[in-house]
Amino acid sequence: MKIAFTSSGTSWTSLIDPRFGRTEFIVVYDEEKQVISAIDNSKVKNVAHGAGSATAQMVFELNPGVLITGNGPGETASNALKHHHMKIFVNAHDMTLKEAYEHYKNGELKEV
Amino acid sequence: MNEIVVLSGKGGTGKTSITASLAVLAGNDAVIADCDVDAANMHLLLHPDFGTTVEFYSGEIAVINQAQCTRCRKCEDACRFNAIVYLDKKMQVIPIDCEGCGYCEKVCPTGAISMLERKSGNLFVSNIKTGTKMVHARLDIGAENSGKLVARVKNEAKSLAVATNKSFIIIDGAPGIGCPVVSSLAGANYVVLVTEPTMSGLHDLKRICAVIAKFRIKAGCIINKWDLNEEKTTEIQQFLYDEQIKHLADIPYDSSFTNAMTEGKTIVEIQSPYQELLQRIWNDIKTQLPK
Amino acid sequence: MPFKIAIASGKGGTGKTLLATNLADYISQREDTLLVDLDVEEPNDFIFIEGTQVNRVDQVKMIPSWDEGQCTLCGLCSKICKYHAVIQLGTFIAVFNELCHSCYACSELCPANALPMQAFKMGETRTMSKGRLTFIESRLEIGEEQAVPLIRKTHTMVDERFHDIPFQIFDCPPGTSCPVAAATRHADLVILVTEPTPFGLNDLKLAVETMQDLGKPVGVVINRDGIGNSEVEDFCKREQLPVLAKIPFDREIARRYSKGELVYTEVNSVISALDQIMKFVQNHFNP
From chain A, pick out residues whose CB is under 8 angstroms from the CB of B147.
Answer: 48-49
Any CB–CB contact under 8 A between C210 and chain B?
yes
Residue A27's Cβ-side half-sphere holds a number of Cα atoms within 13 Å equal to: 26
What does the pLDDT look like over B72-126, one tens digit per residue? 999 999 999 999 999 999 999 998 889 999 999 999 999 999 999 999 899 999 9
Distance of residue C60 Cα from the nearest chain A Cα, in angstroms? 19
Distance of residue B86 Cα from the nearest chain A Cα, in angstroms? 34
Q: What's the topology of domain B59-119?
A: Alpha-Beta Plaits (3.30.70)
Which CATH code for domain A2-111? 3.30.420.130
Domain ranges for chain C: 3-60+123-285, 66-115
Option in A49, A54, A84 nearest C92 (CB): A84
pLDDT value of residue B146: 82
Option in A22, A48, A71 nearest B150 (CB): A48
What does the pLDDT look like over C179-236, one tens digit per residue? 999 999 999 999 999 999 999 999 999 999 999 999 999 999 999 999 989 999 999 9
Residue of C nearest to A50 (CA): C99
From chain C, pick out residues whose CB is under 8 angstroms from the CB of B179.
Answer: 145-146
Give yes or no for a contact between C174 and C7, defined as CB atoms under 8 angstroms apart: no
pLDDT band at B291 (very low <50, low <70, confident <90, very high): low
- Give the residue-averaged pLDDT of C46-71: 97
Option in A18, A22, A49 nearest B147 (CB): A49
Intervals of CATH 3.40.50.300 along chain B: 2-47+128-288
Please identify among residues 31-90 of chain A the ones whose CB lies closer than 8 Å to any CB of chain C. Answer: 49-50, 52-54, 56-57, 60, 76-77, 79-81, 83-84
From chain A, pick out residues whose CB is under 8 angstroms from the CB of C97.
Answer: 76
Residue type (1 letter), B202: L
Helix (H, G, I), strand (E, B), or coil: what is residue C14? Answer: coil
Domain ranges for chain A: 2-111
CB contact under 8 A, B158 and A46: yes
Among C59, C55, C53, C54, smallest CA distance to C38 is for C59
Give the bridge partners for B190, in sequence order.
B4
Residue of C nearest to A82 (CA): C92
CB contact under 8 A, A80 and C89: yes
Helix (H, G, I), strand (E, B), or coil: what is residue A55? Answer: helix
* Beta strand residue intervals within C84-208, DSSP E: 86-89, 92-95, 117-130, 133-140, 167-171, 189-194
**Angle at CA of residue C130, ends C127 and C131, nearest 5°:** 130
Distance of residue A23 Cα from the nearest chain B Cα, in angstroms? 10
CB contact under 8 A, A84 and C90: yes
Q: Strand A2-7 to strand A25-30: parallel, antiparallel, or no bridges (unpaired)?
A: antiparallel
Max CA-CA distance within chain C? 70
Query: How does B186-199 read in b/e, with b if 16+ C-beta sit within 10 Å?
Result: bbbebbbbbbbbbb
Option in A49, A56, A60 nearest C98 (CB): A49
Architecture of the domain whose range is C3-60+123-285: 3-Layer(aba) Sandwich (3.40)
pTM of the predicted protein model: 0.91
pLDDT value of residue C7: 98
From chain B, pick out residues whose CB is under 8 angstroms from the CB of C210.
Answer: 141-142
From chain C, pick out residues whose CB is under 8 angstroms from the CB of A56.
Answer: 87, 89, 94
- Give the residue-averaged pLDDT of B217-234: 96
pLDDT value of residue B283: 97
Distance of residue C254 Cα from the nearest chain B Cα, in angstroms? 7
Give the bridge partners for A2, in sequence order.
A30
Distance of residue A27 Cα from the nearest chain C Cα, in angstroms? 20
Q: In angstroms, how far is CA B164 from the centroid of its own chain?
A: 23
DSSP C215: T
Among B38, B286, B281, smallest CA distance to B183 is for B38
- Give the residue-averaged pLDDT of C130-158: 95
Mean residue pLDDT of chain B comes to 94
CA dihedral (B1, A73, B209, B261) positive or negative? positive
pLDDT value of residue C256: 95
pLDDT at C138 over 70: yes
Any CB–CB contact under 8 A between B197 and chain C?
yes
What does the pLDDT look like over B142-161, one tens digit per residue? 777 788 899 899 989 999 99
Q: In what order do the strands lie in the sheet with B113-127?
A: B52-64, B113-127, B133-139, B30-34, B168-172, B2-7, B190-195, B219-224, B246-251
DSSP C172: P
DSSP A53: H
pLDDT band at B214 (very low <50, low <70, confident <90, very high): confident
Residue of A nearest to C95 (CA): A76
Any CB–CB contact under 8 A between C79 and chain A?
no
What does the DSSP assignment read for chain B? -EEEEEE-SSTTSSHHHHHHHHHHHHGGGEEEEE--TTS--THHHH-----EEEEEEEEEEEEE-TTT-----HHHHH-TT--EEEETTEEEE-TTT-----HHHHH-TT--EEEEEEEEEEEEEEE-TTSSEEEEEEEPTT-S-HHHHHHHHHHHHHHHHHHTT-SEEEEE--SSSSHHHHHHHTT-SEEEEEE-SSHHHHHHHHHHHHHHHHHT--EEEEEETGGG-HHHHHHHHHHHHHTT-EEEEEE---HHHHHHHHTT--GGGSSSTHHHHHHHHHHHHHHHS--
* Other beta carbons less than 10 A from residue A34's beta carbon: 7
Among C114, C178, C128, smallest CA distance to B97 is for C178
Give the bridge partners for C56, in sequence order.
C126
Q: How many whole angstroms separate alpha carbon A111 and alpha carbon A109? A: 6
Intervals of CATH 3.30.70.20 along chain B: 59-119
Give yes or no for a contact between B32 and B44, defined as CB atoms under 8 angstroms apart: no
Residue of C nearest to A83 (CA): C92
pLDDT value of residue A19: 87
- Give the residue-averaged pLDDT of B231-238: 97
Any CB–CB contact under 8 A between A51 and chain B?
yes
Any CB–CB contact under 8 A between C84 and chain A?
yes
- Give the residue-averaged pLDDT of B254-279: 92
Q: Which chains contact C through at least 3 pairs of Cβ atoms less than 8 Å apart?
A: A, B
Alpha helices per DSSP H over C29-177 = 76-80, 105-109, 148-161
pLDDT value of residue B96: 84
pLDDT at A48 over 90: no
What does the pLDDT look like over B30-73, one tens digit per residue? 999 999 988 899 999 999 999 999 999 988 999 999 999 999 99
Distance of residue B163 Cα from the nearest chain C Cα, in angstroms? 31
Q: How many whole angstroms separate alpha carbon B189 and alpha carbon B178? A: 19
Q: In sequence order, which residues have a C-beta less than 8 Å from that of residue C275 and are 6 or more positions away? A: none
Q: How many whole angstroms separate alpha carbon B74 and alpha carbon C194? A: 45
Any CB–CB contact under 8 A between A49 and chain B?
yes
Please tell me the class of the C66-115 domain: alpha beta
Give the bridge partners for B250, in sequence order.
B223
From chain C, pick out residues whose CB is under 8 angstroms from the CB of A60.
Answer: 89-90
Q: How many whole angstroms separate alpha carbon C14 and alpha carbon C19? A: 10
Any CB–CB contact under 8 A between C239 and chain B?
no
pLDDT band at B141 (very low <50, low <70, confident <90, very high): confident
CB contact under 8 A, A83 and C96: no
Residue A8's Cβ-side half-sphere holds a number of Cα atoms within 13 Å equal to: 14
Q: What's the topology of domain B2-47+128-288?
A: Rossmann fold (3.40.50)
